[in-house]
Amino acid sequence: MSLQFDDTIVGIATAPGECGVSIIRISGEQALKYADHFFKPKFSTNIFNLKNRHLAYGWIIDNGKTIDEVLAAVMRRPHSFTAEDVVEIQCHGGSYITQTILNLAINAGARLANPGEFTQRAFLNGRIDLTQAEATNDLIQAKSELGLNLIVNQLKGNLHQKILDLKNEVIWISSLVNAGIDFPEEDIVFSNYDQISDKIAYVKKELESLIESSNLGIMVREGYKVVLVGEPNVGKSSILNALLNVNRSIVTQIPGTTRDTIEEYCNINGIPVSLTDTAGIHRTSDAVEQEGINRSFEAITKADLILWVIDMVNPSYQLDLPDHSILKDKPVLVVFNKIDLQSQFKKDPPQDLPSFKQITISAKDKSQIQELRKTIFEFISGKTGKLTEETAITNLRQKIAAEKSLEQIERLHHSIKDTLEEELLAIDLTEILSLLGDIVGETTPDDMLNQIFENFCIGK
Ligand SMILES: Nc1nc2c(ncn2[C@@H]2O[C@H](COP(=O)(O)OP(=O)(O)OP(=O)(O)O)[C@@H](O)[C@H]2O)c(=O)[nH]1
Ligand SMILES: [Mg+2]
């Protein structure tokens, strides 16, 4: 395997701040040489004699002075994360020690790594494909068990394998079409028409189901956004707290208690659900409160589901929104709250509300909160379909690349019915191979790759 980089990089792989252990990672041709400047193993003459992928106990020496007692591992190319020579040093946590060791590596000749540069090297050195590189970052941010399992499947290369299989099918079709170009008198393409057509239909079906899987894959990665809205004092913050089972949002009997949006995650059947509490919507001359209400409007525009909370004691069925079409464009669940105060109810809900699904609860005594979770989940599964840990597309980039491949396959499907001109089919097939390659990063342009890796942490 030919490696692509001639410089050696260093980065802190662990989070900053005081902690038990920090890890400094050095990767590149000179990794061992640079680490040899400041790491002295206790049971070996030097770092070059250390066994591959074994932890070695030793000392960090700065200008003849011992500054830390550490464990170091040497991972020689190509059997390391980046496929380059790697040294990882586990030192005592804390920013001073970690920063000092980082500076020792830089003084020895290493360059400070950019965000995601270790993973970028693993990708460019051919150890992983782009979907696996993306999975390494997603794994860190996984918010639920289902999300984790989907991402681990991707990290193991399941999506990569699926795309390779589809590419092989397309290569098989290409070989028949190219044979038709080479031996025009044989009519190879025409005699294999049914087989070619079946293969194209198969690739099309597989791509369609991958694209369908993106609804679930993207949702488990990014979460489902539920926004609580309503007039002041209807119990929005109380409902947020009841769903979270923690007193996260301040609740008082004073209308206008919540001034800013508050976002927290909860887990509903494996889906990370982001719950946003908002300021009560009404007309006000208070500039601060108005700013909070503007943020409520903004939160509504980003919602996957709006929980419109109505106080059953004092029901109001009008929300003072700047644009009422919002409630037509998004799924809305009307939550009648304070059912525990039934004896004080003044009037029944109007007849025109039933176009929205409704639920009646009490945030105070938590009755029907489980039912509320279940109803939220019904909205989610309406969007994601079946919850499964099978191979899924987990981000928008992969989805767009798969959609472009599907478009091209559909075009091919049509054109093969109309014409069997081998040259034209061969051009379409080459384009499909390139588009499939884009899903796994084979043909992704450099600026797009840079954008992807910029979102990673430093040291990853
Ligand atoms: N009896 C009863 N009281 C409730 C219930 N839910 C909320 N409350 C009370 O209603 C008042 C307002 O509750 P909040 O949760 O702060 O209401 P809010 O909609 O967040 O209000 P703002 O932040 O002002 O917009 C508090 O006194 C709560 O204790 C309920 O189910 N039953
Ligand atoms: Mg509130």
CATH superfamily entry for domain 226-384:
P-loop containing nucleotide triphosphate hydrolases (3.40.50.300)
Lowest mean pLDDT among 307-321, 335-349, 372-386: 335-349
Q: How far is the CA of 236 from the centre of ligand 1 (A)?
A: 7
Above 90 in pLDDT, residue 55?
A: yes
Pocket test for ligand 1, best of 229, 231, 233 (most atoms within 8 A of CB): 233
Comparing 61 with 449, the larger pLDDT belongs to 61
> Which CATH fold would you assign to the domain 9-129?
Gyrase A; domain 2 (3.30.1360)
Please name the amino acid found at residue 385.
Answer: G
Band of residue 392 on the pLDDT scale cut at 50, 70, 90: confident
Residue ranges per structural domain of the chain: 9-129, 136-219+395-441, 226-384
Mean pLDDT computed over every residue of the chain: 90
Q: State residue 352's pLDDT score.
A: 61
Pocket test for ligand 1, best of 251, 310, 314 (most atoms within 8 A of CB): 251
Closest approach atom of ligand 1 to CA 231: 25
Residues with CB under 5 A from ligand 2 (ion): 237, 257-258
Mean pLDDT, residues 94-112 taken together:
95
Q: How far is the CA of 152 from the centre of ligand 2 (A)?
A: 38
Comparing 215 with 295, the larger pLDDT belongs to 295
Q: How far is the CA of 338 from the centre of ligand 1 (A)?
A: 8
Ligand nearest to the CA of 252: 1
Asked if 101 and 24 touch (Cβ cutoff 8 Å), the reply is yes
| CATH topology identical between 9-129 and 226-384 | no
Q: State residue 452's pLDDT score.
A: 86
Q: How far is the CA of 386 from the centre of ligand 1 (A)?
A: 36
Q: State residue 49's pLDDT score.
A: 96
Comparing 177 with 209, the larger pLDDT belongs to 209
Above 60 in pLDDT, residue 2?
A: no
Comparing 404 with 137, the larger pLDDT belongs to 404
Q: How far is the CA of 248 from the centre of ligand 2 (A)?
A: 11
Q: State residue 459's pLDDT score.
A: 76
Q: State residue 290's pLDDT score.
A: 95
Band of residue 408 on the pLDDT scale cut at 50, 70, 90: very high
Q: Which of 47, 162, 161 is nearest to 105 (CA)?
A: 47
Q: State residue 317's pLDDT score.
A: 85
Does ligand 1 lie within 6 Å of residue 236's CB atom?
yes
- Which residue's CA lies nearest to atom 21 of ligand 1? 233
Highest mean pLDDT among 93-97, 248-252, 382-386: 248-252
Lowest mean pLDDT among 215-219, 225-229, 359-363, 436-440: 215-219
Does ligand 1 lie within 6 Å of residue 292's CB atom?
no
Q: State residue 413's pLDDT score.
A: 86
Mean pLDDT, residues 435-460 taken together:
85
Ligand nearest to the CA of 309: 1
* Best CATH choice for the domain 136-219+395-441 from the list 3.30.70.2190, 3.90.330.10, 3.40.50.261, 1.20.120.430: 1.20.120.430
